[in-house]
């Protein structure tokens, strides 16, 4: 006999988790009538066979043919299941809060040819914040199939983007410091 997910929810006790997948690997059986609990500052994306089916916002959602139209269409027309039949899904919860404790900086001084001073060595540093704007896009393009994705996982990636843009700015737009 299969175990069904009757209540699907996620709590982030650490405050550092951006994405949490249920189950963390593979997929689980659930059925129409199950409850999906999405907390404030969260979104939940339903996936089937690697494809995002629907995105849910804050609240308690009873899974039905009305609120999962893409998945329902797939199950009834392609597979032949009825409304109460079980289906295998992954649910990815995304934390939508603004994460604020990120820092960036040059690892070493960056040589810059100043129009008046010649070659100078510059250092730069600062803070940045991050917030997920499009949950489905973020999961598909950045997170992939990882079961968990934390601030530590994204920090290096974003820091590299900032440093790349900083170097572009120095080379293309500045003539003198």
Q: 117 and 75, same structural domain?
A: no
- Same-domain status, 19 and 49: yes
User: Considering only CA atoms, which of 32, 13, 54, 6 is closest in space to residue 150?
Assistant: 13
pLDDT at residue number 66: 52
Count structural domains, the chain: 2
Confidence of residue 2 (pLDDT cuts 50, 70, 90): very low
Residues 59-117: pLDDT tens digits?
999 876 554 545 555 555 555 554 444 567 789 999 999 999 899 888 889 888 888 88
What residue numbers bound the domain in which 91 lies? 4-95
**Residue 138 covered by a domain:** no
pLDDT bin (cut points 50, 70, 90) of residue 148 is: very high
Q: What tokens does 107 get?
A: 């690892």
Q: Give the CA radius of gyration of the chain.
A: 22
The pTM of the full predicted model, rounded to 2 decimals, is: 0.75
* Beta-sheet pairing, 4-8 with 28-38: parallel
Residue 15 lies in a domain: yes
């Amino acid at each position: 006999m299969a175990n069904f997910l009757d209540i699907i929810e996620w709590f982030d006790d650490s405050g550092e988790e951006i994405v949490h997948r249920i189950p963390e690997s593979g997929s689980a059986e659930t059925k129409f009538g199950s409850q999906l609990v999405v907390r404030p500052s969260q979104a939940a994306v339903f996936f089937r066979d690697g494809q995002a089916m629907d995105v849910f916002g804050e609240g308690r959602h009873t899974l039905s043919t009305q609120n999962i139209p893409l998945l329902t269409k797939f199950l009834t027309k392609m597979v032949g299941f009825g409304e109460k039949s079980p289906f295998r899904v992954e649910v990815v919860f995304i934390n939508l809060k603004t994460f604020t404790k990120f820092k960036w900086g040059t690892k070493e001084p960056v040589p810059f040819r100043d129009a008046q001073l010649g070659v100078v060595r510059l250092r730069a540093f600062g803070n940045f914040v991050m917030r997920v704007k499009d949950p489905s896009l973020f999961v598909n393009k950045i997170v992939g199939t990882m079961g968990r994705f934390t601030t530590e996982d994204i920090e290096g990636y974003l820091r590299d983007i900032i440093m790349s843009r900083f170097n572009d700015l120095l080379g293309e737009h500045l003539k003198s410091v």
